[in-house]
Amino acid sequence: MTSRHIPCRAVLFDCDGVLVDSTGPAEDAWRQWAIEHGLDPEVVLDGMHGVRSQDTVAKYLPEDQRAAGNARIEEIEVSGAEGTVPIAGIPALLAGLPENWAVVTSATLPLLRARLAAAGLPLPSVVVTAELVGAGKPDPEGYLLAARRLGVPIGECVVVEDSAAGIQAGLAAGAGHVLGVGKEEHLDLAHSAVPDLTGVSWDGAGLRVG
């Protein structure tokens, strides 16, 4: 198979679905949360991927109950993070990267730490979590902030995403390339896509996709 080169100076990763597979633990957590709040779990699950927990909570709870609702889903998700595993190919890719990568996630910092630890993955020096942005994905704020903190123009960054909201955020930010991960139809929105990160590596001047 012929490999291709995606030039960049930095790589900005989403977490869930890109670095780690947390689908089972996350859906179990939201299912429990929905039942506790008298909501249809399947309706809640349908819209929770790729967006901040606080934005999901705000869709279903009145304003005076949102703080407690946010605290509760955080508690359930962090306590259930042990079922999280790395996405295929990501340990090798991260091991080969210099200090030029960041994580931009809709999760909170405690949840990000818990999931990366459960998957045995490192926490980079630059992370942008839900607490640090005024608007979550598909707003580009998180990716723009990560690029600034790395000191690299966003046009020289590759964004790696799996959700429609995340891909839209990367495109809106003006990333040089948005690489989709997975097999969902919305990955057609990205510049290119791979089923997982097996065979993706750093070649010194960008990503090499095998």
Comparing C-alpha atoms, which of 106, 125, 104, 123 is closest to residue 114?
A: 123
Long-range contacts of 68-72 (CB under 8 A, 24+ apart): 69/33, 69/37, 72/33, 72/36
The active-site residue out of 16, 21, 139, 162 is: 16
Rounded distance, CA 5 to CA 207, Å?
Answer: 6
The active-site residue out of 14, 28, 64, 188 is: 14
The β-bridge relationship of strands 192-194 and 177-181 is parallel
Distance from first CA to last CA of the chain, Å, rounded? 7
Rounded distance, CA 210 to CA 208, Å?
Answer: 6
- Cα separations in angstroms, 56 against 25, 50, 105, 137, 167: 17, 10, 15, 12, 18
14 is catalytic: yes
Rounded distance, CA 126 to CA 47, Å?
Answer: 27
Structure tokens at 164: 């429609």
21 is catalytic: no
Q: Annotated active-site positions, please?
A: 14, 16
